Every structure is written in C-alpha cells, then in structure tokens.
C-alpha cells in the first residue's frame, strides 16, 4: 500500500478530533442516565427566566419570565427526585427515558404554552403589552389576505400611515405566514391569537418528526440512491438521543420564550426539523414538502431547502426531483397569487425592507459581530454584507464539492451555516439562535451515536496484485 498523502493524514486528524469531541459529549450527556444534563438545563433555564423577569426591557418577556421561572424550578426539583430514585435503583422507571420525556412535555407546557395562554387572555382583555409586534403584524396580514387577496401593503400605503405605525405596516415574511393570522379575522379572543396557531403547528410537526425517527431506520447511506435501512447497518434513533433533540426545540429558554411572546419562528423551525427527519428516513418527497411549507413561511428556511436539495441529489436525479417538487414548488405556489395581486407590494415587504431599503429600518439590533461592524466601522454595513456573502459562498462551495450524504451531515451544515449568517447579518435578533442550536443538537438523532455522521474521505487502499 502506498504512503498516505498529506490530504489523507489531514482528513484522518480532522475525523479523529471530531470523533473525540462526539465521545466526550456522549459521556457527559449519558452521565446519570442523562439526568445530570437535565438538571443543569432546567436549573440554568430557571435562572435565565428569573433574570428576564427582573431585568428585561420588553414587557412580554418579563411576563414570560415570571411564569416560566416557576415551571423551570419545578422541573429542576423533579429531576432531583429522579436522581434520588436512580441512586436507590438504577433501573427505576421514574428515572428512565420515558419519565424524562413526560417531564419534558410538562415543562414545555408550563414554560411555553401556559405563559402563551396567559398572555393571550390578557391581550384579549385589553392589555397591549402582552405580545411582540410580529404577532400583530401577522394577524393584520391575515385580515388583509382575506380582504384584498394579499397580506402586504404597498409602499404608498405604508407611507400614508402615521410615522409611529409605519414599521408595523411592513410584513417581512413569505405569504404563507399570513395564514396564522386568519383566526383573528373572526374576532378578538384568546383563542384567535396567532401564537396559538404557531404552537399547534409546532407541536404537530415535532410529534410527527419524533414518530418518523422512532419508527424508521436512520443512519449512514451506503451510496447514491441507497436509503439507510435494514441491511445497511442503520438503526432507529435511540430514545435518550431523540429526547435531547426534542428538548433543544422546546424547553430551551430561547425556544420557550420565543413561542410564548412572538412565536413565528417555531413552526418554521419545527417544519425544518421534520424535513430533516424525513430525509433521514429516506423519504425525499415528504422532506421536500415539509421544508417547502417552511420556506413558504419565512426566508430563513430557504437555506435549509438548498442543503436538503444537495443531499437529495447525492441519492440520484429522481430523488433530487422528488424533493425539489415540494421544496421549490410550495414557496413558488405561495408567491404567485400575491404577485398577481400586487407585485410591487410583495417586493417592498419581502425584499426591500429586509435589505434595509424600506421607508423605516428594522429594529433588530442584537450585538453580534455583523451589527457591531455595521454600526462602528466606516462603510460598516457594506463590510458586514460582504462578510455575509463570503460566508455564503464558502458554504455553497462546500455543498457543491462535498454535498451531505446523510441527513445528519445536512443538519450540521444548516446549523453552522445559519450560525455564521446570524452572526454576520447587519441586523439580526438574539432569538434567531434557536435555529442553529436546534439543528446542531438535532443531528445526533438523525445519525445514532454508534453511527458516524459523515467520515471525511481519506483515500482508498490500493489493492495488491500477486501473492
């Protein structure tokens, strides 16, 4: 066999470091049957919620913190009881994965759904400080969709609004998002709040994703056109790994807070996670439909659709076409009707405003590198935009040269890619971090721990001839 090349050695070193990091996380995550990490998660979340309740300048966030602190503290105390039960009997059902899963559901109920319902009721009773602005924007978009056939106001219509209301005149979402605002057209009640629809779609999408991963074999694909399955060394996602993935999309404070106070990102995230789960199960058509629905709601889902399309192409032209039908067709189908009604209003809301060319600027101002560069350096906005473009090109080159052959690899690309984009965007929000965090923690559920997510290519042994 020939001597290994420098590229081969480098690939082995990268894989070795990645594998060591994965084993370290697995040991930590499995400590105490997963309960030690659960305890840390709920205890730190309780501290975050308490600090939010005491110090946040956003009144809906403070109201969330007041309720969620109790929910997280109760969950932490429950985990303490589980640890005591495990110490007395390591096989105690109270400390098992099923009990941990039920506690996760209960915690999501008390830290996301309960604050949501409380705030929805208070808002219906007349409180104007019990929802973030995007909730009102989406509800108004739904009403306009019914009345005019488009959820968007044109530039002249927005300019005619009082100066303090022009920001709320913009709807910087894809047309499908307006559907969540349709119940408000019925009347002002707690159950017509758009956040209830956000929560419902999120719960259904995550439940279906869990069912898919529990019933379908997932893992490394043998090659193009060969789905993981019996005989390929794949296996269903294990309970503890899948539970941690669900926690990443539900009880993490960034997710629970977002759902209770605003919520529009959670159905988008849940549909993207469902698409990744369907991809792991070898169902490109269904995966395309799920990510297409997400892309019909928000632009942030479009990069996920591109990554999944690159994954599907590695399986063959037919699977690539099956995924593209939903991933591309559904967003286009959502855009065509509103384009025919008022194309200029569509461009004003979906393109000009997010690019900073609207009548007013986005209030998003989280102190990430892109925002700081845009605010402090000469021509900083151009510099930040250029850095964002470079990051996008790097990811695009990676997709072309080494497209993901597994859903797990696709989730990692989505996670790291969106993290880079969020950090470099000139105007962004802290809450957007829920996307990369969920994608990165979802990846192990798409490729069980004993499976390698995607080993770098390090060359092939050269066959000897002769004896």
State the 10-residue block means of pLDDT for the chain, 467 residues long. Answer: 50 52 70 90 98 96 98 98 92 90 97 97 95 96 95 96 92 96 94 97 97 73 37 51 94 96 96 97 96 96 95 94 96 96 95 85 76 79 83 90 93 94 83 93 77 46 44
Q: What is the pLDDT of residue 10?
A: 52
How many domains does one find in the chain? 2
167 shares a domain with 88: no
The C-alpha atoms of residue 342 and residue 153 are separated, in whole angstroms, by 9
- The answer to the question of residue 376 being in a domain is no
197 shares a domain with 107: no
170 shares a domain with 34: no
- The answer to the question of residue 442 being in a domain is no
Q: What is the pLDDT of residue 365?
A: 66
153 shares a domain with 122: no
CA-based R_g, the chain, Å: 23
Q: What is the pLDDT of residue 238?
A: 63
Q: What is the pLDDT of residue 450?
A: 47
In three-state secondary structure terms, 235 is: strand
Token digits of residue 111: 């830290």
- Of 279, 330, 271, nearest to 307 (Cα)? 279
Contact 228, 221 (CB under 8 A): yes
The C-alpha atoms of residue 343 and residue 339 are separated, in whole angstroms, by 4
321 shares a domain with 190: yes
215 shares a domain with 76: no
- The answer to the question of residue 190 being in a domain is yes
Q: What is the pLDDT of residue 227?
A: 41
- The answer to the question of residue 207 being in a domain is yes
Q: Bridge partners of 289? A: none
Token pair 């695009």 in the structure block, residue: 396
Q: Name 353's Cβ contacts closer than 8 Å, sequence gap at least 6.
A: 170, 172, 362
One DSSP character per residue, 29-71 reads: HHGGGGHHHHHHHHHHHHHHHHHHHHH-SSHHHHHHHHHHHHH
Q: How far is CA 439 from the centre of its chain?
A: 6
280 shares a domain with 138: yes
Token digits of residue 261: 């106070």
251 shares a domain with 173: yes
Q: What is the pLDDT of residue 367?
A: 79
Domain termination residue (choose one: 329, 364, 399): 364
Contact 206, 273 (CB under 8 A): yes
- The answer to the question of residue 144 being in a domain is yes
Burial profile 350-368: b = 16 or more Cβ within 10 angstroms, e = fewer: bebbbeeebbbebebebeb
- The answer to the question of residue 153 being in a domain is yes
Domain termination residue (choose one: 129, 158, 189): 129
Length of the chain: 467
- The answer to the question of residue 56 being in a domain is yes
The C-alpha atoms of residue 290 and residue 441 are separated, in whole angstroms, by 19
154 shares a domain with 87: no
Residue-wise pLDDT tens digits, 232-277: 333 445 688 899 999 999 999 999 999 999 999 999 999 999 999 9
Domain termination residue (choose one: 104, 129, 154): 129
The C-alpha atoms of residue 103 and residue 82 are separated, in whole angstroms, by 10
135 shares a domain with 123: no
Range of the domain at 42: 26-129
- The answer to the question of residue 1 being in a domain is no
235 shares a domain with 331: yes
Residue-wise pLDDT tens digits, 353-402: 887 788 988 777 677 787 788 778 887 778 888 888 888 899 899 999 99
Q: Left if phi > 0, otherwise alpha if psi is -120 to 50, otherwise beta: which for 3?
A: beta
Angle at 173 between CA 211 and CA 288, to 5 degrees: 35
270 shares a domain with 254: yes
Contact 317, 223 (CB under 8 A): no
Contact 267, 198 (CB under 8 A): yes
């Amino acid at each position: 066999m020939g001597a290994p090349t420098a590229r081969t050695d480098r690939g082995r070193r990268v894989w070795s470091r990645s594998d060591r990091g994965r084993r370290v996380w697995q040991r930590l995550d499995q400590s105490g049957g997963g309960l030690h990490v659960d305890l840390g998660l709920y205890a730190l979340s309780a501290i975050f919620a308490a600090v939010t309740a005491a110090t946040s300048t956003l009144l809906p966030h403070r109201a969330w913190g007041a309720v969620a602190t109790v929910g997280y503290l109760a969950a932490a105390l429950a985990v303490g009881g589980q640890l005591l039960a495990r110490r007395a009997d390591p096989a105690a059902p109270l400390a098992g994965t099923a009990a941990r899963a039920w506690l996760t559901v209960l915690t999501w109920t008390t830290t996301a759904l309960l604050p949501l319902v409380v705030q929805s009721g208070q808002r219906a009773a007349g409180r104007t400080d019990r929802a973030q602005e995007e909730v009102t924007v989406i509800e108004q978009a739904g009403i306009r969709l019914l009345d005019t056939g488009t959820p968007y106001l044109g530039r002249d219509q927005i300019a005619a609004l009082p100066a303090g209301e022009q920001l709320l005149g913009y709807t910087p979402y894809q047309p499908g998002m307006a559907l969540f605002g349709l119940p408000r057209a019925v009347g002002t009640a707690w159950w017509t709040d758009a956040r209830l629809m956000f929560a419902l779609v999120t719960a259904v999408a995550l439940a279906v994703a869990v069912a898919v991963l529990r019933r379908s074999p997932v893992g490394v694909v043998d090659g193009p056109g060969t789905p993981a399955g019996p005989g390929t060394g794949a296996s269903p996602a294990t309970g503890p790994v899948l539970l941690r993935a669900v926690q990443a999309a539900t009880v993490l404070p960034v997710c629970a807070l977002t759902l209770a106070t605003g919520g529009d990102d959670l159905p988008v995230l849940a549909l993207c996670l469902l698409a990744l789960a369907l991809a792991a199960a070898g169902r490109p058509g269904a995966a395309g439909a799920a990510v297409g629905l997400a892309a019909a709601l928000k632009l942030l889902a479009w990069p996920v659709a591109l990554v999944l399309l690159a994954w599907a192409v590695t399986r063959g032209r037919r699977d690539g076409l099956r995924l593209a039908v939903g991933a591309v067709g559904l967003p286009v189908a959502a855009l065509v009707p509103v384009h025919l009604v008022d194309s200029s209003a569509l461009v004003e809301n979906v393109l000009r405003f997010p690019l900073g060319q609207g009548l007013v600027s986005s209030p998003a101002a989280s102190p990430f590198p892109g925002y700081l560069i845009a605010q402090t350096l000469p021509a900083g906005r151009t510099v930040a935009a250029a850095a964002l473009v470079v990051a996008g090109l790097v990811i695009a080159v990676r997709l072309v040269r080494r497209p993901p052959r597994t859903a797990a690899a696709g989730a990692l690309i989505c996670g790291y890619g969106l993290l880079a984009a969020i950090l470099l965007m000139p105007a962004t929000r802290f809450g957007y971090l829920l996307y990369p965090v969920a994608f990165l923690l979802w990846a192990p559920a798409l490729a069980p721990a004993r499976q390698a997510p995607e080993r770098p290519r390090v060359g092939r042994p050269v066959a000897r001839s002769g004896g």
